[in-house]
Structure 1
Amino acid sequence: MLFKDIKRQAKHYNNSKYVYDTLLTSFSYFIFRISLPFVISTVLWSHSIRRNFTNTTLRIL
């Protein structure tokens, strides 16, 4: 669906730079949407690991 829109816009504008910018924007947005949950989960995971580690260390001490 996205690429159909880009093709239609390319026909309408007939400008390769516009198509390139649109592709670049959609691609970066796509990557951002995919990588965001991974980043959030990694941050939360590392935070919980750190908290558990400090709790265990305090218990040992």
Structure 2
Amino acid sequence: MGWARRKAVVLDAGEPCNAPAAHMYGFLSRDGLAAAFAINTDLLDEDVDHAAEQRRATVAGDGR
């Protein structure tokens, strides 16, 4: 959403839910490439201005 300059809310329990993968899919239109390729070719180092605000919250009980 940051690339599209849209506001977004991300809810995260703080625990990883996916296992590590040898390949990446749906990222930078590079389906099937090894993740190391993106790191080694600087695909992740785009010069983009990101603004973010982080807040921590907890839910008590069942959240109702």
User: By percentage of residues, which structure has more helix?
Assistant: 1
- One fold, TM greater than 0.5? no
* TM-score, scaled relative to structure 2: 0.21
Q: Which of structures 1 and 2 has the bigger CA Rg?
A: 1
